[in-house]
Structure formats: structure tokens, C-alpha cells
Chain A
Amino acid sequence: MTKEKQKLFDQKVVEQLGTKKERWHEETLKGKVGDKKYYTESGIPIDILYSPSDIKDLDFQKDIGFPGEAPYTRGVYPNMYRGRLFTVRQLAGFGAPEDCNQRIKYLLDNGATGVNIVFDLPTVRGYNSDDPEAEGNVGACGVAIDSLEDMETLFNSIPIDEISSSVVTHMPSTTVVLLAMYMVMAGKRGIALEKLSGTNQNDFLMETVVGSAPEILPPKASFRLQCDAIEYASKHLPRWNAVSYNGYNLREAGTSAVQEVAVGIANAIATAEELISRGNSVDDFAKRMSFFWDLCNDFFEEIAKCRASRIVFQEVMRDRFQAKNPKSQMMRFHVQTSGITLTAVEPLNNIARSSIQGLAAILGGAQSLHIDSYDEAYSAPTEEAALVSLRTQQILQAETNVVNTVDPLAGSYYVENLTREMAQRIRDYIEEIERKGGLVAVTESGWLHREISDFAYKQQKAIENGEQKIVGVNHFPAEKKKAAEIEVFRYPETAVRQTEKLARLRKKRDQAKLDKALGNLREKCLSDENIMPYVKEAVLALATLGEIEEIFREEFGLWQFPLA
């Protein structure tokens, strides 16, 4: 990269323009601007007009540049969507594995280009479908997976060597089990590990901050498992992203766009420090770090957030960890449109909200996209609602022409100014986390929980007093209590079927082999060794997800969620 400063505008001209803007303010705008102050959702002041003087310090090469080159402001690939359109990755997950397998096929038959599996709460939280804790949640909000056999059914005749799979495993403890099942399943189908392409979530904040639960592993243990999966994949799964730092759920729980990205990158920093301390080189694993952002309603701020996140990640990997491989410095991310912005009243309005958020994802340079369904506030999506989301993506891709030029908002005085401002605020928040001891420490202390709780509380107040407008709710409220006519998705009866499968599985297993595998796993929990090979061994011996997780709970102990 050239060291020479390449300012966008001649500084003399900018100065003159600045004077001209003042004149415009006085002569043309006069007092027509009003006293009201405007802010972006994360609190950045918005000016009525932006002009070259607002980006006069920008250096084209250093700050904007070309796509596929540092600092990746404009995107991680040179040709972006002309090379490959973003992956249409609609979530699917409900019922038993055989039910969900049908929905995956339905989405693929209708043009989805990737798989995105969400699991039910017992699976995510580490219980078998027949555990008492699972009551009422089996197959709801996600698919139930209890054993290797369920994973085989889930992906039955899905070409996992050709399309990429996203498995929304949430927590590290669940990730290590489900990833092991996925690898063993592929192996049994004769598909080499090198061919497996996809992403799992694997974020310790999902266990310890974002989601609460009756039984939670301590932050350090959860973080260790997160790093184990990433380290293992860096050696055996060259096309697999073993982490998707989950800003999305954090944001939905209650943060600003700035906090969302800052915490995601702070987690990448913590991971890099841990894996380097284990003797890995940053270029072994950083190229497979991926991120997951939530795009809400503040259109330009969300686009600026996506651009800024790439800038900050590149700086961190280049300057702090001296990553040499350009791929280690490229932030790739999946976007899901925001669920929390959707309303239960007049649910069809949600199609408009999600479309705008989806457009922002494209203008922000996302690698893959899920568009939420309009019935989000009622249930998991019906087939009809899921199809509307899929079609929204296809309309954006095929009918609007927005995908055909790279980073079209570059050079916008406002978007560039906002991108710079977002990047600075993200850096500042990362620094605040580090001053407090780093991400694991602010989790243990409950600081991060309070940050989220405070944000959620303030936002709710702003909605209640009308400061934050929601159409149909507090702004042009819907006609009094006309019940929405919406079909609710009903989950198939899953608990009974899964319970029967578990009973059959327990009868047919080789008990000696199982006991040995589980014994080995238990022994390695408190060792320094990577846990993955031992989880794989247990999965292969047909250990259930609940059995493996119970070992984790017993060996690592439980932690008290710090919110009251």
C-alpha cells in the first residue's frame, strides 16, 4: 500500500466548499432546520447535510480503497456479488429430524443456495428429548437432535459436499457435540472432511450472556470449548468456519450497533490470544473466523456498521496479531434481518421492514443472508411465510440491480463520515472491554449483562413514551385490537417420536464401547488437551447429546447467571 496521502479532494477546494456550506446554511436553509436534534440508533448525531468537508481527511487508498484489498472497507472480494451472489440461507428448524429434512429440501427446491439449521432449546441447552427439562420444548423453535442417527436423518440426501451448511449451534458445548456428529455423519457417507463447507456458531456469550438457562457452564469453561472447536477445525476442516461471532443475538437481547460489533471483535481478539498461547499461529485460524450481524431499521447506520466492522477487524488482525495472510484480515459475515423490530400487529408490515434491512445487508457487503419471516412475532415461520422471505431475497438479487456494482455507497459524504464514526466508536468500546480485563472477565463480572439490560430498559422506555416510533404500535396505531388473521405454525408432535428413538438407540448400543468413550471424555475435560477427538469418539459410540453435556456439567460445574 502506498504511503503517500491521497486525499479525496483538493484541500483548498474543500475549504472553499466549507465556506459555501455556511453560506447555504444562512441564505438558503435559513431557519428551516428546526430545533430538534437527530441521532442514529446508536446515538451518533445526524447533520441535515453532508458535504466534502465532512470527509476531507479521508485518504482513498488507506480508508476506502478497492474491494478485495485492505482495508476491505468496500468488501472482501474484488468482484463481490458479480463473482458469487450472497448465499440465500434461510433458517429451517422444527420438529424431528425427518420433518426438518423435508423443509430443507423445500427451501433448496425453491432456490435457496445454502442450508441454515436451527435446533430446539433442549438440543441447544444440552438435554435429550426425553429429559424432564425438555418438556414442552422438543421440536419447538428448532429441530431436535439427540444422537448421531438424528444428524444422519437431518441431512439425508442433502448434498453436503456441494452446498454449504450453517448449523446454528449457539453455545460451544453444543457446538463440539453437533460438529462432531456432523463430521462423523459425513465420514459415514464417504465425504472427506476437507470437502465440508459451512459454519457453526460456537460463541461462549450465547451460553453466558445472551441466553439465560437453568444450568450454565462457567465462562472460562465455555470459552475453552469455543477455542477447542476453532483449533480443531483449523487443522482438519479447511473449508469450515468453526466460529460465527454472534453479534446478532447480542443485539436482539439489547445493544447498539456499535456494541454488537465491538463485542464480536473483542471475542475474536480473546480467541486469537488463547490460540496463540496454545502455540498456534494467527494465520492458522483467523482466516476461518466469521461473524454474524443483526441488521435493524437505521438503514445508513447499518450499512456503515458493516463497512466499519471490516475496517476494525483488518486493523486488529494486521497490527495487533501481525496476520500475514490477507484472508486472516478479511471479515466475512452472515446477516439476519432483525426479529426484534418486527411487530405482532399488522404482521404484513414486517415484509417491508425485512426487505429494507435485507437491502442494507447487500449494500453492506454481506456474504450470506437470512430474511426474517413476517410471522416472527407469532411462531416459527409457516411454509408460506418462509417462501415470502426466500422470494424477497430473490427479488433483491434479480430485479433491483443493486448487486451489480460493488459497494455503491462508497464516496457518499454521509455514509463515509458515518463509517468513520462507527469504526472509532467500535474501537473505543473494544478498548473499554479490554480495560476491564477482556471479554471473559466482563462476562464473569456481569458487566456485559448490565450493559445489555440497561440498553433494553432504555429502549423499552423510549418505545413506551413514543420517542422511538413503531408503525402500527405507537405511531399510526393499528385499529383497536383487530386480531391479526395469521396462520400459526404448529410443530409436529416430536417428543414421543424422539423418546422412542432414544429407547431403541440405548438398547442397540455397544455398552462397553460407549462407557469407554464417555470415560475418556470425562477424563479429558479438566486436561489441557483439545476435547474434540474425545467428543467424536463418544458420538461414534452413539452417546447421546444429553449424556455428553451431562459430563460437561458435572466436570466443569455450573455458574450463576449474574442478573437479578
Chain B
Amino acid sequence: MSRPIKVVMAKLGLDIHWRGAVAVSRMLRDEGMEVVYLGNQFPEQIVNAAVQEGADVVGLSTLGGNHNSLGPKVVELLRKKGLEDILVLMGGVIPPEDIPALKEKGIAAVFGPESKIVDIASFIRGKVS
């Protein structure tokens, strides 16, 4: 791939905890990816930003309990625009038993509290090429 992988990272909706999203953004940059950190956004704006930025990956962070409702909504809106190729990942505090349903709805992977950046980066590289 000639250009770096482009990631659009967002805090989902009203969730206030930005530490993880900002740290992961910075570390993915260290891994050679281009990361646009959007701050807090709702699904519509996240999808618009992903289109504008030509994102390969959308990263959604939430520790606020809105993962089941707002996460899949991002996938849905991307599909409506014919952008199902964009990889949607989630991170934060997400109960393990919710993960199968999120994956069924198109979230490619969920990276919880103890995830390593190398694993996130290699997962992305494996899917985006």
C-alpha cells in the first residue's frame, strides 16, 4: 500500500472518557498510520468525517454504556453510503457478552482494557490492504 492507513477515531456520543481514545490515536500514529481524532461525535458526524477523510478504519471508543445502540448505527450508516469496506473497530468498557452481537452487526473487532497496540495495529494491517 502506497499511502499510510487512515484511521478516523471518535468518542461515541456523550461518553466523556477520552484517555484511551487519545492514547490509542497517538500510538497508531507511532505505528505509521494517519489518525484523525474527532473528539466526541454522534454516528452521523462520524460517518461524514470518515467519508471526507477517506478513512480505511473507523475507531469508536466508549466507556459509557452506549456501545450497543450507537456502535452498530455507525456500521449501518456506512453501509447505506455503500462504504461497507471501511473497517469499524470499538474499544473501551464493553461487557464480553455483548461482543458477539456487536460483531454480528458488523463491528470488526472490540479491543477492551488490556489490549496491546501491536495487536490492534496488526489486526488493522491484516484487514486493510
Contacts and interface: CB of A to CB of B under 8 A. Distances in A.
B65 A137 contact: yes
Contact of A564 (B14, B37, B95, B116): B37
Contacts of A380: 65
A456 B17 CA distance: 12
B40 A137 contact: no
B93 A377 contact: yes
Interface stretch (A127-135, A300-308, A534-542): A127-135
Contact of B95 (A457, A460, A488): A488
A247 interface: no
A357 interface: no
**Chain B binding surface, main DSSP class:** mixed
Nearest to A495: B69
Nearest to B27: A460
Give the interface residue-count category, chain B: 35 or more
A499 interface: no
Contact of A137 (B19, B39, B64, B96): B64
Contacts of A137: 13-15, 64-66
A344 B112 contact: yes
A464 B40 CA distance: 26
B97 interface: yes
A136 B72 CA distance: 12
A49 interface: no
Contacts of B104: none
Contacts of B113: 343-344, 377
B66 to A, nearest CB: 3
B114 A473 contact: yes
Interface of B: 11, 13-19, 22-23, 26-27, 36-37, 39-42, 64-70, 93, 95-97, 112-114, 116-118
Given A379-B95, A470-B114, A563-B39, 11 more contacts: A121-B66, A134-B14, A137-B65, A137-B66, A140-B65, A140-B66, A211-B17, A254-B23, A343-B114, A344-B113, A377-B112
Interface of A: 121-122, 124-125, 127, 133-137, 140-141, 210-214, 252-254, 340, 343-345, 377-380, 452-453, 456-457, 460-461, 464, 470, 473, 483-484, 488, 491, 561, 563-564
20 contacts: A121-B14, A121-B64, A127-B14, A133-B14, A134-B14, A135-B13, A136-B66, A137-B15, A213-B40, A214-B13, A214-B14, A253-B18, A377-B93, A378-B93, A379-B95, A457-B22, A457-B23, A461-B27, A470-B114, A491-B65
